[in-house]
Amino acid sequence: MRKTAILKNDLFLEHNPGQTHVESPRRLEVIHERLAAPEIMKMFHFPAFEPASHEILQMNHTPAHVNRVASTGGKPFDILDPDTTTSARSYDAACLAAGAVVEGTRLLMKGEIDNCFALVRPPGHHAEADRGMGFCLFNNIAIGAHYAIQNLNVDRVMIVDWDLHHGNGTQHSFYNTDQVLYFSTHQYPYYPGTGSLSETGKDKGEGFTINVPLPGGQDDFAFASIFNDILSPIARQYKPDLIMISAGFDIYIADPLGGMKVTDKGFAYMTEILQDLADEICDGRLLATLEGGYDLNGLCDGVMAALLEMAGESILDHKTAEAFKDTHIDKQDALLASVLEQTRNIAKNYWTL
């Protein structure tokens, strides 16, 4: 068993964007209920953590944006953008969410844990340097990556974003640097409209943004082929010191916002691939942070599948795992194979595939 930490706090339940909003506190409540089982609790560690300071938030965000979110504190309702609203304690929850990811990176780099999952709300990967959007106030994973590079002697971070939606904020945070490799699978064209094949980075960052824009309807085997044939060889060449996951579970087959067909077995396999890469490349250092996922059963099952993989257990039987390992781009349908071949051809300008 690995020493797997879960970063959770009931304050995250107090961010309430509205009774009819899909990004509801219930998303975490169902996960907390599953984790409360004694046989589950004993498998994991639950370290304490503190809110991120304004100084840390400003590693990724402008002072004006941090102050704008802070100004919502104590207000029953405020609007950052048409999709992104706040309640009285949303600012506190957002600071703590960023702080959870920061503490996760610190614990990993100090060797105090093997891997961790930050079960946070509000999510983060759409938040830009100067504004919140897409349910996101601060960009939790980007702040964590900046902190690792600036404070923990980390040279290279690989961020893998499997959320249904492209992480525009995370991409823009690192578009001009080679210190973070951002790899995103997402439904395209779809909100927020970014993440095309041509977006590959700029200046020192050219080639360190890899987008896999998918047409929709992709299942476990489709994602397995992407992770087998594109992500894995790039990770081995990049050799990150830390692998981070923007773990969005809205690619689940029944998600109300999504058009994908991933099951808990797909989430287990993607986590297995990333954990195996982390074990091979960077002493097992893997950090996941929660992004989307709006079907409560699918969200809970997906999170638990990922957590069990991280802890050294698995919901995958041997036959299923071998079938996933044996799936490749050329085994996909013609439309998907074409998209993935285009992705690979662009990536070949920078990586050996």
Compute how many other C-beta atoms are within 10 angstroms of the C-beta atom of residue 71: 12
Q: Is residue 210 part of a domain?
A: yes
The residue range of the domain holding 14 is 4-347
Phi-psi domain of 113 (left: phi exceeds 0; alpha: psi -120 through 50; beta: other) = beta
- DSSP for residue 112: S
Number of domains in the chain: 1
> For the CA atoms of the chain, what is the radius of gyration?
18
Q: Is residue 56 part of a domain?
A: yes
Which CATH number does the domain housing residue 163 bear? 3.40.800.20
Kindly state the helix (H) or strand (E) to which residue 183 belongs, with its residue range: strand 180-187
Which pLDDT score is estimated for 92? 98
* pLDDT score for 34: 97
| Annotation says 126 is catalytic | yes
Distance, CA of 311 to CA of 150 (rounded, Å): 28
- 260 vs 251: CA distance, rounded Å: 5
From first CA to last CA, the distance across the chain in angstroms is 33
Rounded Cα gap, residues 266 and 222, in angstroms: 9
d(CA 320, CA 179): 35
Of 126, 146, 165, 166, the active-site residue reads: 126
Cα dihedral 328, 283, 53, 150 sign? negative
Residue 28 inside a domain? The answer is: yes
CA atoms of 292 and 135, how far apart (whole Å): 9
Residue 227, domain member (yes or no): yes
In a domain, 335, yes or no: yes
Residue 80 lies in a domain: yes
Q: Would the pTM count as exceeding 0.95?
A: yes
Separation CA 257–CA 119 (nearest Å):
20
In a domain, residue 352? The reply is no
Considering the domain boundaries, does residue 353 fall inside one?
Answer: no
pLDDT of residue 251: 98
Q: Along the 353 residues of the chain, how does pLDDT read in single tens digits?
A: 899 999 999 999 999 999 999 999 999 999 999 999 999 999 999 999 999 999 999 999 999 999 999 999 999 999 999 999 999 999 999 999 999 999 999 999 999 999 999 999 999 999 999 999 999 999 999 999 999 999 999 999 999 999 999 999 999 999 999 999 999 999 999 999 999 999 999 999 999 999 999 999 999 999 999 999 999 999 999 999 999 999 999 999 999 999 999 999 999 999 999 999 999 999 999 999 999 999 999 999 999 999 999 999 999 999 999 999 999 999 999 999 999 999 999 999 999 99
